[in-house]
Structure 1
Amino acid sequence: MVGQTHSMSTENPTPETTTPQTTNPEPTESLQPDAPRTDRPLTGKTAVVAGATRGAGRAIALDLAAAGAFVWCTGRSSADRPSDYGRPETIEGTLDLIREAGGDGEAVVCDHLVDADLAALAGRIQAVSGAIDILVNDIGGEAYVSWGEKLWTADPAAGRRLFDAGLLTHLSTARTLLPLLISRPGGLHIEITDGTSEYNTTHFREAVWLDLTKTAVSRLAFGLSHELADSGATAVALTPGWLRSEMMLEGFDTREDTWMADSLDPAREVPPVDFAISETPHLLGRGIVALAADPDRNRFTGQTLSSFALAETYDLRDVDGTRPDAWGFLAAKETDPHADPRAFR
């Protein structure tokens, strides 16, 4: 359901070789930052968003910055070395959007599978910010999924890339950056996954490599909730619904201003009608801001929450004013194949 929300490129430039760019033309139709906030509940906080190049990661970085946090944005898609996804978005482009909206942060090109890159990232953060208050692990790898293929027919190299990008990066990033998170009390560690624990427990996610990767991310958050307990930090996993990211819009040949009509148009093969339940990445971003600003957030530690659950808890809406319940819609479709996605918005 997350779709193609994250990116890892095959290049490995070091953080020291990249500086933020301000002349990077990118299609950001679905991810324009919100209007400047009058309330900035995260002022004085430092956040890291690993995988902030596009999709959910970019929106999360924008929303955290709009709420006042200083945001370290990391990824492997840079202005001079594009992603192997074949996408134009870059980590510098995310920082441009943050600064254009009046926020602040830094962009660091980092390969989260390379210990030296992570050590350099940690050193820069410690030198500039001293510590971390919010750590978001949003690196994915869905572009490597062999959709519709069984384990013994799928490309094993692609499967390993998915597993490395979608899980091992999370482990390595947490191992390196959590000492900065626990250096002061009350930290928040967030793992971005695909599917609630309840849904994934009873549903196969179409491909073994994907199923293992995404369910393991939720388990990682659960495990970290125990290991972080004595430091006063909170660890959760979060999932969006059907994410209306740049890649999904382009893949379905639709736009942010026409996706609903296109989904419901019987003359079109894509988007599918179920895309009418989709949400912008900002619904998740807004939920993360609210969670980070909640002094009682530790009541959720160890859980996997959906963007809809966060929206209900904190009375949030997507940018169009709706509150899409993608996982509720999927459950309803199992008993009523003709369930209308619009009834779950």
Structure 2
Amino acid sequence: MSTLKGKVAVVTGASRGGGRGIALALGEAGATVYVTGRSTKNQATTDNLPGTIDETAESVTLRGGVGIPVRCDHTIDAEVEALFTKVKTEQGHLDLLVNNAWGGYENYYGTNFEDGVAFDAPFWEHSLQRWQTMFNAGVRAQLLTTRFAIPLMLPQNQGLIVCTTAWDRNKYLGNLYYDLAKNAVNRMAFGMARELEKYNIAAIALAPGFMRTERVMAAYNLQPFDLSNSESPEYIGRAIVALASDPDIMSKSGQVLAVGNLAWDYGFADIDGNQPPAFKIE
């Protein structure tokens, strides 16, 4: 269904994982999607994982949309500014921004980082570099990207900003740096919603469940684990298509939403026809 035909979207961190799944779902809905990330064809990819912005953009087009790859490091101000200058020049406006680029997972394999520290180890055992990466390539990158995106939404007095996050009813996420960073993203979406309300621009934090990303599957291939409660990266993409198609989206602005709950609310399913419930921490 071309429910988003004519709409222009930017999806950050879309070489692989959730970003790729989001871009593909938007393409299937007919949108023009600017696919950003650092992994490009003919070059080494992040942690040598499969997936590039070029491949994602090609798949977006094959799905029925228009995929446009733009290499962008979202920690570098000038590159982010250049991205939105390109969007403005080529499209004149922006309807949807999905802040998905994130740092902090680098060199994490199976259950440990390469230095042998487990993700859920006490905070004093983790390198402060994890904090730096999560807040610089995560929280700041999302704020920076939104800052340059907003001027393309203001003239049309409408738009949607989605910040991907991790969340389960405000439960602790098991890693202090990660918990602080993700809660900062949630609060950022809330604050953005307050300031953008008068411009009819919605801001939402959206939490997927346990996604079968390339990184997760690489870990699974090293040591199999239970995937029965997992979901495809396109499940969150279908949630975003539903949100972007909702004429009453402003009623959800400022909230932290879960993909599994939205599946029930909007009536969409994952690619296998199932509706995985919202992720819950035991």
Aligned partners of 1:136 and 1:192 also within 8 Å: yes
The alpha carbon displacement at 1:326 in A equals: 4.2
Counterpart Cα distance in 2 of 1:323 and 1:82: 35
2:123 maps to 1:151:
yes
Counterpart Cα distance in 2 of 1:233 and 1:165: 24
| Partner residue in 1 for 2:109 | none
Aligned partners of 1:82 and 1:88 also within 8 Å: no
Counterpart Cα distance in 2 of 1:280 and 1:159: 28
Q: Residues 84 and 105 (structure 1 numbering): CA distance in 2 closer, same or farther, change over 3 Å?
A: closer
Gaps of 5+ in 1: 1-38, 255-268, 335-345
Q: Which amino acid aligns with 1:156?
A: L
Counterpart Cα distance in 2 of 1:162 and 1:129: 31
> What's the C-alpha RMSD, in Å, of the aligned pairs?
1.7
Q: Output one character per residue of 1:180-230: Cα deviation in whole Å (capped at 9) or x when no partner.
A: 12221220110000114x2xx2x3222211111111111111010001111
Q: Output one character per residue of 1:45-66: Cα deviation in whole Å (capped at 9) or x when no partner.
A: 1001011111110011111111
Q: Report 1:29-68 matches (<5 A).
A: 39-68=1-30
Task: Identify the match of residue 249 of structure 1 among 217, 236, 239.
Answer: 217
Q: TM-score, normalized by length of structure 1? A: 0.75
Q: Output one character per residue of 1:235-284: Cα deviation in whole Å (capped at 9) or x when no partner.
A: 10101011111221221129xxxxxxxxxxxxxx6213xx3111111111
| Partner residue in 2 for 1:221 | 189
Q: Output one character per residue of 1:129-155: Cα deviation in whole Å (capped at 9) or x when no partner.
A: 101000100012241475133222211
Counterpart Cα distance in 2 of 1:119 and 1:170: 13
| Partner residue in 2 for 1:320 | 272
Task: Identify the match of residue 175 of structure 1 among 138, 142, 147.
Answer: 147
Larger Rg: 1
Counterpart Cα distance in 2 of 1:80 and 1:270: 30
Counterpart Cα distance in 2 of 1:278 and 1:123: 38
Counterpart Cα distance in 2 of 1:326 and 1:118: 32
2:118 maps to 1:164:
no
2:239 maps to 1:239:
no
Structure with a larger share of its residues in strand: 2
Gaps of 5+ in 2: 107-112
The number of aligned residues is 272
Q: Which amino acid aligns with 1:44?
A: G
| Partner residue in 2 for 1:280 | 232
1:73 is paired with a residue of what secondary structure? strand
Aligned partners of 1:242 and 1:326 also within 8 Å: no
Aligned partners of 1:253 and 1:271 also within 8 Å: no
Counterpart Cα distance in 1 of 2:43 and 2:29: 30
Counterpart Cα distance in 2 of 1:59 and 1:96: 13
The alpha carbon displacement at 1:119 in A equals: 1.4
Counterpart Cα distance in 1 of 2:46 and 2:6: 35
Counterpart Cα distance in 1 of 2:230 and 2:4: 28
Counterpart Cα distance in 2 of 1:206 and 1:321: 31
2:257 maps to 1:295:
no
Identity %: 37
Counterpart Cα distance in 2 of 1:312 and 1:162: 31
Q: Which runs of 4+ in 1 moved over 3 A?
A: none
Q: Report 1:249-268 matches (<5 A).
A: 249-253=217-221
| Partner residue in 2 for 1:92 | 54
1:327 is paired with a residue of what secondary structure? coil
| Partner residue in 2 for 1:69 | 31
Q: Which amino acid aligns with 1:186?
A: Q
Q: Which amino acid aligns with 1:204?
A: Y
Counterpart Cα distance in 2 of 1:107 and 1:84: 16
Q: Which amino acid aligns with 2:225?
A: P
Q: Output one character per residue of 1:16-61: Cα deviation in whole Å (capped at 9) or x when no partner.
A: xxxxxxxxxxxxxxxxxxxxxxx21111110010111111100111
Q: Which amino acid aligns with 1:193?
A: T
The alpha carbon displacement at 1:232 in A equals: 0.6
User: Which piece of structure 1 moves more, 160-169 or 293-302?
Assistant: 160-169
